[in-house]
């Protein structure tokens, strides 16, 4: 009976297993092999050992793409988290039209990256974009956001705020899970609004903050669509994100072996960053009933 149940179970999950092997596990293993070769489509891969990996450290564009992506992550993730938390606190208040406001702030996160990039191409347009128009009202001459290397990355950071609706919803759920009795106890002890927020709210939603932080770092290191559509890495490689550079090697210059090595190095970077964040969580993440673990 147990054997028959196991066979039936494998039959039912076989479509997923087949898809996983063909479309995920297979390409992952192939890319690992290709990262140790020199390979262009249509030609036979030539094994070169660690040549692709050592090539990175003499590649100026590799360092530039890593620098751009790191700076973007350092600014975009904290700004997005703070914005999402502030919005969650505001949308958690009992005011008329609360559900409507939540829907309005969440809807932008459902729009695809291509559509968002096209919209922001108009918003940040140097001549007739709405951002520069609003700046002109207060007497400020707006810069060429997407054409000036000094402002391009700032434009991408501001653009990242468009999708904070998903994180906002998660924070709203976390805020609603904080027991009201703790706020009442803190108020009886004389705590003001800021003290209740810092000593009650933040510790109890810290696991959710950790989740948003980890997923945010992973997402920003995989930024591609907006930079590909808006700037193609320009001007002067100021928006050459790591994944865009990987794409250029793979599908513009057909350096599949080097691109595979870049992909695995990106996996290593994300793995290290995630490990550091999870390791540091013991110092600031509070799990209710367990203290800090």
- Average pLDDT over every residue of 62-90: 96
Cβ neighbours for 109, distance < 8 A, ≥ 6 positions apart = 162, 163, 164, 165, 166
DSSP code string of 65-121: HHHHHHHHHHHHHHHHHHHHHHHHHHHTS--TTHHHHHHHHHGGGGS-HHHHHHHHH
Residue 45 lies in a domain: no
Structural domain span for residue 164 = 54-292
Residue 36 lies in a domain: no
The pLDDT value recorded for residue 113 is: 80
The pLDDT value recorded for residue 293 is: 45
Residue 124 lies in a domain: yes
Residue 35 lies in a domain: no
How many structural domains is the chain composed of?
Answer: 1
Q: How many CA atoms lie within 13 A of 239 on its CB side?
A: 27
Whether 206 has a pLDDT exceeding 50, the answer reads yes
- Tell me if 170 sits within 8 A of 91, measured CB to CB: no
Residue 25 lies in a domain: no
CATH classification of the domain holding 286: 1.10.3720.10
Q: Kindly report, residue by residue over 25-53, the tens digit of the pLDDT.
A: 999 999 999 999 999 998 999 999 999 99
Residue 198 lies in a domain: yes
List beta partners, residue 47. 37
Q: What's the CA angle centered on 83, arms 101 and 243, to 5 degrees? A: 115
Strand (E) or helix (H) holding 45: none
Residue among 195, 183, 161, 175 at smallest CA distance from 82: 161
Residue 120 lies in a domain: yes
Residue 265 lies in a domain: yes
């Amino acid at each position: 009976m147990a054997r028959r149940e196991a066979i039936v179970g494998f039959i039912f999950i076989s479509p997923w297993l087949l898809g996983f092997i063909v479309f995920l596990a297979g390409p992952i293993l192939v890319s690992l092999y290709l990262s140790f070769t020199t390979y262009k489509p249509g030609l036979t891969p030539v094994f070169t050992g660690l040549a692709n990996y050592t090539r990175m450290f003499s590649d100026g564009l590799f360092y530039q793409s890593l620098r751009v992506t790191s700076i973007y992550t350092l600014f975009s993730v904290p700004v997005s988290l703070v914005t999402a938390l502030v919005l969650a606190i505001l949308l958690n208040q009992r005011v008329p039209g609360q559900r409507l406001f939540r829907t309005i702030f969440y809807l932008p996160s459902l729009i695809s990256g291509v559509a968002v990039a096209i919209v922001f191409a108009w918003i940040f347009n140097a001549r007739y974009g709405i951002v520069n128009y609003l700046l002109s009202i207060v007497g400020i001459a707006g810069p060429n956001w997407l054409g000036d290397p000094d402002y391009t990355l700032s434009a991408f950071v501001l653009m990242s705020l468009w999708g904070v609706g998903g994180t906002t919803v998660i924070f709203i759920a976390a805020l609603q899970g904080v027991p009201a009795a703790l706020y009442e106890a803190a108020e009886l002890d004389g705590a003001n609004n800021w003290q209740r927020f810092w000593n009650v709210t933040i510790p109890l939603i810290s696991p959710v903050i950790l989740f948003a932080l980890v997923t945010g770092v992973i997402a920003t290191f995989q930024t591609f669509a907006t930079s590909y559509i808006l700037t193609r890495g320009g001007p002067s490689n100021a928006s050459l994100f790591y994944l865009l550079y990987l794409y250029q090697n793979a599908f513009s210059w057909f350096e599949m072996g080097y691109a595979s090595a870049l992909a695995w190095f990106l996996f290593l970077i994300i793995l290290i960053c995630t490990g550091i964040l999870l390791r540091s969580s013991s110092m600031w993440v509070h799990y209710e009933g367990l203290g800090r673990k």
